[in-house]
Amino acid sequence: MFKRILIANRGEIACRIMRTCRRLGVETVAVYSEADVNSRHVAEADFAVLIGPASASESYLRADHILVAALSSGAEAIHPGYGFLSEKLELIDACAKYGIAFVGPNRRAIEVMGSKIESKRLARNTGVACVPGYDEDEQSPERLLAEAQRIGFPLLIKASAGGGGKGMRRVNASDDFLPMLALARKEALASFGDERVLLEKYIVNPRHIEVQIVGDRQGGLVHLFERECSIQRRFQKVIEEAPAHHLSADVASKLYESALRIGSAMAYDNAGTVEFVLDADDHDKPYFLEVNTRLQVEHPVTEMTTGIDLVEWQLRIASGEPLPLQQAQIGRSGWAIECRLNAEQPEHDFRASLGPLLAYLEPRQESGVRIDSGLHGKSEVSPYYDSMLAKVIGYGASRTQAIEKACQGIESLRIEGVCTNAAMLLQILRHEGFDAVLTTRFLEMHFPQGTQPEPDLHLLHTLAVAAAWAASQRVAPSAWGELRGFRVTARGGPLASVDLRLCDISAALGSETVRLTLSDGVYALAGRGGLSARVQMDGAAWVVQVTDQHGLDTAVHIKHTHGRRWFSWLQGRSVVWDAEHELEHSLHGSIQLSQERNLSATLPGRVSELLVREGEQIKAGAPLLIMEAMKLYHTLAAPVTGRVGRVHVKAGDIVAHGQLLVELEPQTEPQAVS
């Protein structure tokens, strides 16, 4: 076994790899960019080396900088994690040149599998069925169009070098094919430096099921069963589980056998994943998709059910040891479900949520809940990297128990300061459709409008923020810190009342006006089922105890963040309020607790297209402009219904994070009905 390794990654996966290293007594070297100086993976490593500025292309994607870091720190091996350089030949070549072990498979496997065109050919040669399509070398638009017409529609255009769901376009009709092809090529070239594409018949009800394989350098090869990853959004996995739900033993063993056949054709010699799509409309008929030649994001569900530490196996194999177990010695039990916790707002078209954390608290280690996280109290969510913050894995004897544990984990993981998709994950896990056969259409089928905040919980958040804000108006801000245990009372002044217009939050709340009144330290929310709130100061936070009509209490934690933002946290769900400017006008009169009314850049990037003109009427949710950031196109939508005011940018402009893009004049009064 190695004495010291370098981890060429960041975030949760870097921390995950270090956990195993610590247990095995292997020293760790972290690498970090200027944006990650205060990050958890740096804090947890034995040594850390700065490798460049924030931009990944100047740091985490620089194989040369990483090699220098490895050589200067005396690391014997490099673990690439996933993403970044994990499937790039550059890193493995540099390792070979300087005599450093690469924790991954042989070069040839990475090379062949890096191209979807070549990997499909290899799979077909081993007798494994692939999705019908076109994967020849000729790439002229005429030939591709003719092949597309032969395959039929809908079909998928895929970048041969693609990954992470990027570079894929669905085409529904022949007329759309050439424009989509041009777009897909442009994106493929920008993201992967390779514009070759392949075409595949689009399977209308696909299940994504994949098989974990591990091989060693002595020719050993085993599978560690399957994972189901059908809960996806835009071709990206959101929730994964092992075993697959409702999968026949016949299909499962066929998948294992195909995966091993493909693995042995490549002399596969580390951890890898063979991905398949199954046609749910055709008895789960499986088709080969691709091989990922690295540790997969969702590897924990395999670990929880087999009891195997995949990172340990990777390190042993890379250091020359044989597989620790033979196929017959590998079994599994129980059920595991992993949820990807991202810094994003599903109710606002998955807009990114960025900024420094105000607090971070992991639940006490208990059986059945595993948290793989890259965060600590000093973390800042920056726009430079992937939005995945942590993974919550629930494990139990049955699927129901695993779901319960996953929910428990999500609700008790406290991330304050940014919004996450926690509420959406909980809604998926608790949806009745989650017990049926899962397909990648799950989200569009069950949440066609996207997931929305749960009305009751959102009301609690709203009331609590309003109450904390109202309370804050009665105490000089400088005195906040000293007023521990402070309870607002009516002694200090007249009865306060705030009229809240709950708008733009969810259809269920509509734009109802409710009155918040203060009396004897208790804020009551008139007209809303007899809810009342008691506000207390606890250190730097407001704790608002909301009591419902049955006398049940719920505590909402609230912080006044940097700038004018308020942040509230309740059972895993968090909301960032840009509301203070709307709250502070007066304790009396009408106050809108709406989200931002103007459109600002949520990421630094380039405006690629403007979709509206000044003066135009728009509905909340209407697309306003397309931004290009981190090589992806993001559509920014109107946060409110109203009229487009001043437009501050034009196509081609480079904009900074937070920069005002489009002013909106919200329609304040409902239209009179005549």
Q: What is the DSSP letter of 536?
A: E
Nearest to 425 by CA among 397, 377, 389: 389
Could you say whether residue 231 binds ligand ADP (CB under 6 A)?
Answer: no
Q: Indicate which of Mg ion, ligand ADP, none lies near residue 164 (CB less than 5 to 8 Å, by partner kind).
A: ligand ADP
Q: H-helix or E-strand containing 472?
A: helix 455-472
Within 8 A by CB and 6+ apart from 482, the residues are none
Choices 37-45, 59-67, 267-275, 655-663; region in contact with Mg ion by CB under 5 A: 267-275
| 606 assigned to active site | no
Question: Which residues within the stretch 4-43 sit at the binding site for ligand ADP (CB under 6 A)?
Answer: 9-11, 13
Closest distance between ligand ADP and the C-beta of residue 11, in Å?
A: 4
Closest distance between Mg ion and the C-beta of residue 289, in Å?
A: 6
User: Distance (Å, rounded) from C-alpha 208 to C-alpha 483?
Assistant: 54
User: Distance (Å, rounded) from C-alpha 652 to C-alpha 553?
Assistant: 52
Q: Which residue is nearest to ligand ADP (CB)?
A: 83
**CA 210: distance to chain centroid?**
20
Closest distance between ligand ADP and the C-beta of residue 68, in Å?
A: 20
> Does residue 439 sit in helix, strand or coil?
coil
Nearest to 103 by CA among 254, 230, 293: 293
Please count the other Cβ atoms lying within 10 Å of the Cβ belonging to residue 320: 11
Q: H-helix or E-strand containing 395?
A: strand 388-396
Could you say whether residue 206 binds ligand ADP (CB under 6 A)?
Answer: yes
Residue of 156, 213, 390, 470 interacting with ligand ADP (CB under 6 A): 156
Could you say whether residue 443 binds ligand ADP (CB under 6 A)?
Answer: no
Nearer to ligand ADP, 388 or 514 (CB): 388
Q: Write the DSSP string, 86-126.
A: TT-HHHHHHHHHHT-EESS--HHHHHHHT-HHHHHHHHHHT
Could you say whether residue 574 binds ligand ADP (CB under 6 A)?
Answer: no
Could you say whether residue 341 binds ligand ADP (CB under 6 A)?
Answer: no
Closest distance between ligand ADP and the C-beta of residue 589, in Å?
A: 46
Choices 196-204, 393-401, 455-463, 547-555; region in contact with ligand ADP by CB under 6 A: 196-204
Please count the other Cβ atoms lying within 10 Å of the Cβ belonging to residue 526: 13
Residue of 171, 239, 336, 388 interacting with ligand ADP (CB under 6 A): 388
Nearer to ligand ADP, 488 or 603 (CB): 603
Judged by CB under 6 A, the number of residues near ligand ADP is 35
User: Distance (Å, rounded) from C-alpha 317 to C-alpha 447?
Assistant: 43
Binding mask 72-111 for ligand ADP (x = CB under 6 A): ---------xxxx---------------------------
In the set 294, 316, 340, 351, the catalytic residue is 294
Q: Indicate which of Mg ion, ligand ADP, none lies near residue 105 (CB less than 5 to 8 Å, by partner kind).
A: none
Could you say whether residue 440 binds ligand ADP (CB under 6 A)?
Answer: yes
Nearer to Mg ion, 14 or 113 (CB): 113
What spatial distance separates the first Cα and last Cα of the chain, rounded to whole Å? Answer: 80
Q: Phi and psi at residue 433, in whole multiples of 5°?
A: -65, -15
Closest distance between ligand ADP and the C-beta of residue 340, in Å?
A: 8
Q: Indicate which of ligand ADP, Mg ion, none lies near residue 162 (CB less than 5 to 8 Å, by partner kind).
A: ligand ADP
Sign of CA dihedral 143, 146, 148, 151: negative
Nearer to ligand ADP, 153 or 486 (CB): 153
Per the structure block, which two tokens stand in for 566?
A: 């308020």
Choices 142-150, 153-161, 273-281, 449-457; region in contact with Mg ion by CB under 5 A: 273-281
> Does residue 411 sit in helix, strand or coil?
helix
Choices 97-105, 156-164, 616-624, 662-670; region in contact with ligand ADP by CB under 6 A: 156-164
Q: Write the DSSP string, 617-643.
A: EE-TT-EEEEEEETTEEEEEE-SSSEE
Per the structure block, which two tokens stand in for 533?
A: 């709130």
Closest distance between ligand ADP and the C-beta of residue 93, in Å?
A: 20
Closest distance between ligand ADP and the C-beta of residue 166, in Å?
A: 6
Nearer to ligand ADP, 388 or 500 (CB): 388
**Looking up tokens 């999500």, which residue turns up?**
410
Contact 535, 524 (CB under 8 A): no
Please count the other Cβ atoms lying within 10 Å of the Cβ belonging to residue 441: 15
Nearest to 377 by CA among 390, 365, 362: 362
Q: H-helix or E-strand containing 565?
A: none
Closest distance between ligand ADP and the C-beta of residue 306, in Å?
A: 18
Per the structure block, which two tokens stand in for 326?
A: 């033979």
Nearer to Mg ion, 6 or 209 (CB): 209
Nearest to 287 by CA among 315, 259, 309: 259
Nearest to 196 by CA among 184, 205, 206: 184
Judged by CB under 5 A, the number of residues near Mg ion is 1
Q: Indicate which of Mg ion, ligand ADP, none lies near residue 277 (CB less than 5 to 8 Å, by partner kind).
A: ligand ADP
Could you say whether residue 203 binds ligand ADP (CB under 6 A)?
Answer: yes
Closest distance between ligand ADP and the C-beta of residue 380, in Å?
A: 15
Nearest to 85 by CA among 172, 10, 5: 10
Nearer to ligand ADP, 54 or 620 (CB): 54
Nearest to 5 by CA among 316, 376, 307, 391: 316
Closest distance between Mg ion and the C-beta of residue 379, in Å?
A: 28
Please count the other Cβ atoms lying within 10 Å of the Cβ belonging to residue 629: 18
Question: Which residues within the stretch 236-295 sit at the binding site for ligand ADP (CB under 6 A)?
Answer: 236-237, 275, 277, 289-290, 292
- Which residues are designated catalytic? 294
Residues found near ligand ADP in the complex (CB under 6 A): 9-11, 13, 81-84, 131, 156, 158, 162-165, 200-203, 206, 208, 232, 235-237, 275, 277, 289-290, 292, 296-297, 386, 388, 440
Residues found near Mg ion in the complex (CB under 5 A): 275
